Structure 1
């Protein structure tokens, strides 16, 4: 089969299309014919060597959608989708014609989504669900501020929060585009370029002086001070990233007096099987139309894989998809 692969870490130009042995369905694994596979910022970081644990040479790609080519009789020909913190890191990923995954990782794709749309869901919504629901335990009637609401994870969190019955305030450098799900969900939007004091003051104003119950910070680092300034008493801060700096100063007296909880959320710890369990929980929301992925912005063939990665590096708004 043809696959996009990297033998050393570096810029996207280390990626090359090559012929590799086709995977086989054995030892509890199934083979999927990949119809579409999105490119995530974490895929780009992986190729650059910024994520520990990757074993070279490697086929990258966490998110996918396709049909089962070989495996248990009950799964043959079924349309499936998936993602995983091991795909592209410790086992070959989805940027290839074929992909092998454990049978336990197979999850039927929602019929309401095309292959391209389904391939753009995994990382964003699994990370959003893990942080907002499983980690922060966001509840009905609470208010959440989503830093990075215009991005893939931020937009997913906004939809998940609304489904949980929460009020949503969005923050980002630019407002969500009109054709994105988050644009119609957030009650208020705040540009994230202000000082921590300005942002905290504005959020307190919007919440009657109280602050928000949860901040989901999909940016991190440069936004941490603003996130902390926005929390109500006993509020929870969920951190999934660090942009600009990985070290921040925290006033410990303010922290303990406010009884603030800071919670880390790492979706890479969920392999393709564990991620599949979350996608199975998310599927009904997509079937009903309550959840929608970000629009597909660009499509590339496998031979254009480097260009797909460069599009993500250049911060293309919307999702970038490789169609093998």
Structure 2
């Protein structure tokens, strides 16, 4: 079968389109014919060597949507989607024509999603779902999302589906206008020391939950927290160091929640997909748009574009 594979790390020149044997499922596994596979920044970082536990050679790729062609009768022929921490790191991933995964590591696809749409959602939506679950976002929660990338968009959509009061903070007025057209309350980020007052003008007393998806607003976000508020984060500077105003955080009784999708197996992620997947069919979550579907044979070029800073969501098609 055709697959993207790397046998060393350090630069994208290590990635190539190769012919490898079609995988054979072990006991308890299924064989999925990949119809579409998402390309995430973490896939690029994996080839660049940012994950020391990756074993080589390796086929990268975490997110996928496809059809079960070998497995138990109740799954055979079913359209499924999935993601998980082992794919592309310790086990071969989804940037190939076929993938083996545990039978409990997939969820049935929502009927309203195409393969391309389903493949775009795994990492962003499971990351956002985990953030909302662990920071206890529920109906009526005053919820501030900082940033509007893939995870930020997922977080605001899931927050609204849960009935939270959603406020989104972004850098550009044009982005604020886009979100306002989609029905979200927004604010345009200015000086860091002004964030608390900006949020208080909308949420009197502060936000009960702040989700910083950028890694750049953690210190400022503390000032936007309500008493006993929760602050969730998914990113940090390259060196991992940030100056946290701990005094202000503890005086508020605040809680810091680190969110990392690479802590969850395919089976654990599949249960998340089952939880929120029905929301797409029920019309509570927006269907993905503006996706760049690209043949797998052009995958190396797409990796380079993502590494160069492209924000276009790429879906690889075997």
What is the TM-score normalised by the length of structure 2?
Answer: 0.94
Please tell me whether the aligned partners of residues 219 and 240 of structure 1 are also in contact (alpha carbons under 8 angstroms).
yes
Q: Secondary structure at the match of 2:144?
A: strand
Contact 2:222 2:248 in 1 (8 A): no
Task: Kindly indicate whether the alpha-carbon contact (under 8 Å) linking 1:63 and 1:122 is maintained by their aligned counterparts in 2.
Answer: yes
Unaligned runs of 5+ in 2: none
- Distance in 1 of aligned mates of 2:179 and 2:31: 33
Deviations 1:282-303 (A, max 9, x none): 1110112221354243222111
* Residue correspondence of structure 1 range 95-106 to structure 2 within 5 A: 95-106=95-106
* Matched ranges for 1:229-244 at <5 A: 229-243=223-237
Match of 2:33 in 1: 33
Which residue is equivalent to 1:287?
Answer: 281
> Secondary structure at the residue paired with 2:99?
strand
- Please, which of 249, 254, 257 is the counterpart of residue 255 of structure 1? 249
Counterpart of 2:261?
267
Whole-Å Cα distance in 2 between the matches of residues 25 and 314 of structure 1? 36
Alpha-carbon offset, residue 243 of structure 1: 3.6
SS at match of 1:75: coil
Deviation at 1:179, TM superposition (A): 11
1:119-198 mapped onto 2 (5 Å cutoff): 119-133=119-133, 135-148=134-147, 150-174=148-172, 184-191=182-189, 194-198=190-194
Residue 147 (structure 1) shift: 1.3
> Structure 1: where are the runs of 5+ without partners?
none
1:21 and 1:179 map into 2 onto residues whose CA distance is 49
What is the CA–CA distance in structure 1 between the aligned matches of 2:85 and 2:72, rounded to whole Å? 24
1:81 aligns with 2:95: no
Q: Distance in 2 between the 1:158 and 1:20 partners?
A: 40
Deviations 1:151-200 (A, max 9, x none): 11100100111111111111233467699888514212323xx2221122
**Who is 1:6 aligned against?**
6
In structure 2, relative to structure 1, the CA distance for the partners of 1:175 and 1:286 (3 Å cut) is farther
Paired with 2:176 and 2:200, the residues of 1 have a C-alpha distance of 26
How many equivalent residue pairs? 318
Q: Distance in 2 between matches of 1:112 and 1:12?
A: 35
Q: Is the 8 A contact 1:146 1:215 kept in 2?
A: yes
Shift of 1:252: 2.7
**Secondary structure of 2:65's aligned partner:** strand
CA distance in 1, matches of 2:65, 2:175: 25
Equivalents in 1 of 2:277, 2:262: separation in Å? Answer: 20
| Equivalent position SS for 1:168 | strand
Partner of 2:272: 278
Q: Which moved more, 1:61-70 or 1:47-56?
A: 47-56
1:123 CA displacement: 0.5
SS state at 1:206 partner: coil
Cα deviations across residues 245-271 of structure 1 (Å, max 9, x unaligned)?
521122332222111111111110111
SS at match of 1:73: coil
For 2:178 and 2:89, locate their aligned partners in 1 and report how far apart those are by CA, in whole Å. Answer: 30
